[in-house]
């Protein structure tokens, strides 16, 4: 072993690095301070570096500093994205044995090398910065060992002044995939390695300003502040030339000071809706340092979160650094893409899950207006997996005892708290807080520090919390795992400002908020966006807005994680031969890996719209849900729809301060019995930093006369002249034009033909199965256990009546499954009219003990080339009983391909809730009550069977599903069970479907 043995020694975290300090880049002139690359003192070392990959650090040759190289790798990057090692996705499980502080002998290792030209000047210091290296780095300059550092998402800054010389210099970095620090980096992500953030050299003056901390206190009325500056030079302190400019670039003061203490009057406050920033300019001989600063006050009063004295709600997301191509390496442009998408979708807050982002990220958030929870690079979730559980015996043999369950739970918590308490790791946990807090302490957008994620609780976190509060009392502190208590320790929560949970239900929020509380309720993760998801976004919104004690939450998570596979498609856990893996649990984002918004994000956007309309006592009232802005910056476009058809429209402006209400001056149509809808669209008038003028912030749709239902005009009936032939198995019904075959064993039509042309390509059967969504991943076992995936129809009794204007078939039938009882009992009445109209009256009841149904309805196999259909329903996005705030009731057109949402892991998608009709040339369908419909090239079974969308093959038909009801979506992949009111759980129900074939 030729490396000094620091990587398994928790007492050695950094060797010869500068202390953690604020991030800033000195420039020579004020004019060049916008981009760091423009600074004369900044030299980027990014680029192609020589690289050698060793499957184990033991393979590193003794003379590795003399090695020649045959391969290169870009810096920054993750080596797994360049053909080395393999991708590996694991959530909670550690990817190596739990044996702290040791890591496997087979720990991979990357040897990096490059040359750089340098002309050292006397009286200058040279600081080599690595902004992110996973997991640890040994640095060598000109073949001399300089230092060592860990903490993947922290800057490691080495002073290499004494190692560089004139001319060509060589730099070697040995990077190990794992070190003792990896026990604290067990975040739910693809595990990638290498130098993944920028590398650069800073030239500094001999006695340079290493750190500064801007502090200020606002007075009670928030219009005056006193600003002070704490500075740290590497040698003796000295006066700086300090200048402050207002957001409008007017000088507020300029002075020479060692200890600044300056009053500022008429303060213009910063908040995310209007991020006003002052400019602080520090001049220190040849260096100019520019620091933007916003004034704002974050506090908790009587359990309510206040920003600038105003209660606010976080409309947040959890964001990982992740890209299918570049992995953890995120450029400024990529980050900007995320922030722009977030602004477009009404997101105002980000939790940097579960580590600090690049140092310039929070600077961008200051400027663009986002609230940040800056999380320290700590997660040791895998320790909770040490609890060994007996495999479950048969439920009949399990003389169940709750004491045992409680014991296992406590043992799991005790294991979970391993690093939170182990004195060996105390320093490491504190160091990770310092790396986070010291670096970003001058950032306005950072309102909250987070101790980390899912690492249990105990003395080490209590000490870390105390340190943070002493160092920076101006911000709030969050840590969710503090709800877990070790059996040998009583939690001290005095330094934590929130009661934080993850994945609690809307009812959990209500429950907490019903009691008087001193801390706000913060959902640091909620509404798990896995696959077709976020069906509960509206219910959470309601809960957040119901109580002042709830301060909103952070959806898990912003983007799907999936690197590209060799076939050019997205891959998830297990697709790379990785083990143990957590499958597609990494595909749980509001946007796809390459940033295409999912319907999830559109649902969240409209739920989070800053304006909401309601119809009350003949009036249309708008509520302003901005925390600070007046609605006078918006135009409100309205349009009336009569029976789905566009009628009068117009544009309105209102004046309404934040969190207030206003009546919309709009004249209602007379109640003429029609179905009247009012569509309202809220658009911003002027361009803002990330959004163009005319950007739609959201919409509402009001049903003004809900008692008026939309009706399909009946066809004039004509006398029937059907010929009826009945056998034990079939009933054949035909006239010159139409031919029907009715299957008496199943009680369904097996054939419908017009002029010899098949109108359905398979029997017209019932359907209860849906391809489980990711949110069905738990209930699917119950469903399968109940036989829902394997159900079929059978009839018991069929009677036929030839009436003067119709043929009527009455059936008693059921849906059943092998080895199970009946799932549904039917009384059916099929009515055939001579003009090709078929109605199916369904009266169903179901045994009360069975789990709720995925869906119930009819499935029609229509021709593959069906083409477009028109529907009057909630579109054009997919919509469900609990996920329809992204959609509007209206008349839309779609086809099977367009209607399919291609989730990487195929699942139920593309349904449309609340429909009045669907029609095409081949078929018109409607029902006695609004229904859900779906059009797809795939059957539910095909979507169930395939694990990747790119393996799907068309069924050869267009599958039209007409559902009495489709159960909701929820977010149960990691969240509460689907709420009762969204389940198809009624013990009996009735519906009549009407089908009119061959419209042409
Ligand atoms: C929890 C984690 O905090 C997050 O990193 C992610 O794993 C998420 O939920 C699920 O996607 S872990 C969960 C088991 C509570």
Residues with Cβ within 8 Å of residue 478, at least 6 apart in sequence: 373, 448, 449, 450, 451, 496, 497, 498, 500, 522, 524
Q: Please, which pLDDT band fits residue 397 given cuts at 50, 70 and 90?
A: low
Predicted pLDDT at 716: 77
Mutate to test the pocket of ligand 1, among 375, 501, 556, 586 (most ligand atoms within 8 A of CB): 556
Mean pLDDT within 510-527: 98
* Nearest atom in ligand 1 to 91's CA: 7
Asked whether residue 396 carries a pLDDT value surpassing 80, the answer given is: no
Q: Please, which pLDDT band fits residue 400 given cuts at 50, 70 and 90?
A: low
Spell out a b/e string for 376-411, using b for 16 or more CB atoms within 10 Å of the CB, else e: bbbbbbbbbbebeeeeeeeeeeeeeeeeeeeeeeeb
* Nearest atom in ligand 1 to 974's CA: 10
Please write the tens of the pLDDT for every residue from 747-781.
Answer: 999 999 999 999 999 999 999 999 999 999 999 99
Please write the tens of the pLDDT for every residue from 82-113.
Answer: 999 999 999 999 999 999 999 999 999 999 99
What pTM was estimated for this model as a whole? 0.97
Q: Please, which pLDDT band fits residue 614 given cuts at 50, 70 and 90?
A: very high
Asked whether residue 1 carries a pLDDT value surpassing 60, the answer given is: no
Q: Please, which pLDDT band fits residue 834 given cuts at 50, 70 and 90?
A: confident
Catalytic residue selected from 157, 185, 287, 454: 454
Asked whether residue 392 carries a pLDDT value surpassing 80, the answer given is: no
Predicted pLDDT at 357: 98
Spell out a b/e string for 507-540, using b for 16 or more CB atoms within 10 Å of the CB, else e: ebbeebbeeebebbbbbbbbbbbbbbbbbbbbbb
363 lines ligand 1 (CB under 6 A): no
Q: Are 81 and 327 in contact (CB under 8 A)?
A: yes
Please write the tens of the pLDDT for every residue from 297-352.
Answer: 999 999 999 999 999 999 999 999 999 999 999 999 999 999 999 999 999 999 99
974 lines ligand 1 (CB under 6 A): yes
Asked whether residue 554 carries a pLDDT value surpassing 70, the answer given is: yes
Half-sphere exposure of 904 (CA within 13 A, CB side): 27
Q: How far is CA 136 from the centre of its chain?
A: 29
From ligand 1's centre to the CA of 337, what distance in Å?
A: 24
Active site includes 185? no
Asked whether residue 40 carries a pLDDT value surpassing 80, the answer given is: yes
From ligand 1's centre to the CA of 948, what distance in Å?
A: 23
Catalytic residue selected from 185, 480, 525, 603: 525
Q: What is the mean pLDDT of the chain?
A: 96
Question: What tokens were used for 997?
Answer: 């074939």
91 lines ligand 1 (CB under 6 A): yes
Q: For residues 178 and 592, give the distance between their C-alpha atoms in angstroms, rounded to a whole number.
A: 29
188 lines ligand 1 (CB under 6 A): yes
Triad 24, 316, 547: Cα angle to 5°: 130
Half-sphere exposure of 586 (CA within 13 A, CB side): 29
From ligand 1's centre to the CA of 772, what distance in Å?
A: 21
Predicted pLDDT at 733: 96
Mean pLDDT within 434-456: 98
Q: Are 965 and 881 in contact (CB under 8 A)?
A: yes
Mean pLDDT within 178-182: 98
From ligand 1's centre to the CA of 188, what distance in Å?
A: 7
- The CB density around residue 66, as the number of other CB atoms within 10 Å, is 8
Q: How far is CA 901 from CA 103, 501, 911, 959, in A?
A: 42, 32, 10, 14
Active site includes 525? yes
Q: Please, which pLDDT band fits residue 32 given cuts at 50, 70 and 90?
A: confident
Quick one: how many helices (H) and strands (E) in the chain? 12, 57
Q: How far is CA 471 from the centre of its chain?
A: 32
Mutate to test the pocket of ligand 1, among 454, 531, 583, 775 (most ligand atoms within 8 A of CB): 454
556 lines ligand 1 (CB under 6 A): yes
Q: Whose CA is nearest to atom 6 of ligand 1?
A: 188
């Amino acid at each position: 072993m030729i490396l000094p043995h620091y990587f398994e020694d928790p007492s050695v975290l950094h060797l010869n690095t500068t202390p953690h300090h604020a991030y800033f880049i000195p420039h020579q002139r004020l004019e060049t301070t916008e981009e760091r690359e423009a600074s004369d003192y900044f030299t980027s070392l990014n680029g192609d570096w020589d690289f050698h990959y060793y499957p184990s650090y033991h393979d590193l040759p003794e003379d590795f500093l003399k090695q020649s190289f045959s391969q290169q790798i870009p810096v920054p990057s993750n080596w797994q994205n360049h053909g080395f090692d393999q991708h590996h996705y694991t959530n909670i499980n550690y990817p190596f044995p739990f044996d702290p502080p040791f890591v496997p002998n087979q720990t991979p290792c990357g040897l990096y090398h490059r040359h750089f030209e340098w002309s050292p000047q006397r009286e200058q210091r040279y600081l080599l910065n690595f902004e992110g290296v996973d997991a640890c780095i040994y640095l060598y300059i000109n073949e001399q060992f300089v230092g060592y550092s860990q903490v993947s998402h922290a800057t490691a800054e080495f002073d290499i002044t004494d190692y560089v010389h004139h001319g060509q210099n060589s730099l070697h970095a040995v990077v190990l995939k794992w070190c003792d620090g990896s026990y604290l980096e067990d975040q739910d992500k693809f595990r990638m390695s290498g130098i993944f953030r920028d590398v650069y050299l800073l030239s500094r003056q001999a006695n340079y300003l290493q750190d500064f901390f801007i502090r200020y206190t606002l007075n009670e009325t928030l219009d005056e502040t006193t600003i002070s500056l704490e500075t740290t030079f590497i040698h003796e302190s000295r006066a700086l030339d300090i200048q402050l400019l207002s957001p409008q670039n007017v000088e507020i003061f300029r002075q020479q000071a060692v200890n600044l203490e300056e009053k500022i009057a008429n303060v213009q406050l910063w908040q995310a809706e209007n991020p006003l920033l002052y400019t602080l300019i520090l001049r220190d001989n040849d260096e100019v340092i520019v620091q933007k600063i916003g004034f704002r006050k974050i506090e908790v009063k009587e359990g309510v979160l206040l920003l600038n004295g105003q209660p606010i709600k976080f409309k947040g997301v959890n964001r990982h650094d992740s890209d299918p191509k570049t992995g953890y390496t995120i450029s400024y442009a990529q980050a900007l893409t995320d922030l722009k998408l977030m602004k477009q979708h009404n997101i105002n807050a980000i939790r940097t899950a579960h580590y600090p982002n690049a140092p310039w990220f929070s600077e961008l958030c200051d400027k663009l207006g986002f609230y940040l929870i800056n999380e320290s690079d700590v997660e040791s979730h895998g320790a909770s997996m040490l609890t060994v559980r007996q495999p479950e015996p048969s439920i009949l043999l399990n003389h169940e005892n709750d004491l045992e369950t409680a014991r296992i739970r406590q043992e799991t918590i005790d294991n979970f708290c391993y690093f939170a308490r182990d004195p060996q790791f105390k320093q490491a946990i504190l160091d990770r807080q310092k790396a986070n807090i010291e670096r970003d302490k001058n950032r306005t957008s950072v309102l909250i520090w987070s101790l980390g994620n899912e690492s249990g609780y105990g003395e080490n976190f209590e000490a870390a919390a105390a340190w943070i509060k002493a160092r920076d009392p101006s911000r709030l502190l969050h840590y969710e795992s503090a709800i877990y208590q070790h059996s040998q320790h009583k939690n001290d929560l005095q330094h934590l400002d929130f009661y934080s949970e993850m994945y609690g239900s809307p009812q959990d929020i209500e429950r907490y908020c019903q009691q008087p509380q001193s801390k706000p309720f913060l959902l640091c993760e909620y509404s798990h966006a896995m696959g077709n998801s976020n069906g509960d976004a509206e219910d959470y919104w309601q809960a957040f807005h119901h109580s002042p004690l709830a301060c909103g939450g952070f959806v898990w998570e912003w983007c799907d994680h999936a690197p590209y596979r060799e076939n050019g498609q997205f891959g998830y856990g297990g697709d790379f031969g990785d083990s143990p893996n957590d499958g597609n649990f990494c595909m749980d984002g509001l946007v796809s890996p390459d940033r295409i918004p999912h319907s999830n994000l559109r649902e969240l956007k409209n739920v989070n719209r800053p304006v909401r309309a309601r119809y009350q006592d003949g009036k249309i009232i708008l509520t302003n849900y901005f925390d600070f802005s007046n609605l006078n910056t918006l135009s409100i476009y309205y349009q009336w729809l009569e029976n789905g058809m566009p009628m009068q429209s117009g544009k309105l402006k209102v004046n309404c301060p934040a969190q207030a209400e206003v009546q919309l001056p709009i004249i209602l149509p007379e109640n003429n019995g029609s179905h009247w809808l009012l569509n309202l669209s809220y658009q911003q008038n002027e361009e803002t930093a990330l959004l163009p003028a005319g950007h739609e912030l959201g919409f509402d749709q009001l049903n003004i006369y809900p008692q008026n239902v939309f009706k399909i005009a009946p066809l004039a009936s004509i006398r029937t002249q059907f010929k009826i032939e009945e056998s034990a198995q079939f009933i054949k019904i035909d006239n010159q034009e139409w031919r029907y075959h009715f299957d008496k064993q199943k009680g369904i039509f097996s054939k419908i033909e017009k002029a010899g042309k098949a109108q359905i390509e398979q029997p017209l059967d019932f359907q209860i199965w849906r391809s489980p969504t990711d949110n069905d991943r738990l209930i699917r076992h119950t469903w399968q256990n109940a036989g829902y995936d394997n159900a079929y129809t059978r009839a018991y009794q069929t009677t036929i009546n030839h009436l003067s204007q119709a043929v009527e078939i009455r059936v008693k039938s059921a849906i059943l499954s092998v080895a199970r009882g009946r799932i549904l009992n039917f009384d059916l009445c099929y009515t055939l009219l001579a003009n090709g109209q078929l109605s199916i009256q369904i009266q169903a009841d179901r045994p009360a003990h069975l789990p709720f149904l995925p869906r119930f309805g009819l499935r029609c196999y229509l021709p593959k080339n069906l083409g477009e259909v028109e529907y009057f329903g909630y579109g054009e996005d997919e919509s469900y009983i609990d996920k329809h705030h992204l959609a509007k009731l209206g008349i839309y057109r779609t086809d099977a391909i367009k209607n399919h949402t291609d989730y990487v892991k195929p699942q139920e998608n593309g349904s449309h809730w609340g429909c009045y009709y669907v029609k095409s040339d081949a078929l018109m369908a409607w029902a006695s009550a609004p229904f859900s419909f779906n059009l797809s090239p795939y059957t539910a079974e095909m979507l169930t069977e395939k694990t990747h969308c790119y393996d799907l093959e068309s069924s050869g038909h267009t599958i039209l599903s007409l559902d009495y009801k489709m159960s909701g979506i929820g977010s149960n992949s990691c969240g509460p069970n689907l709420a009762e009111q969204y389940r198809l759980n009624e013990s009996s129900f009735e519906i009549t479907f009407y089908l009119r074939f061959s419209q042409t």
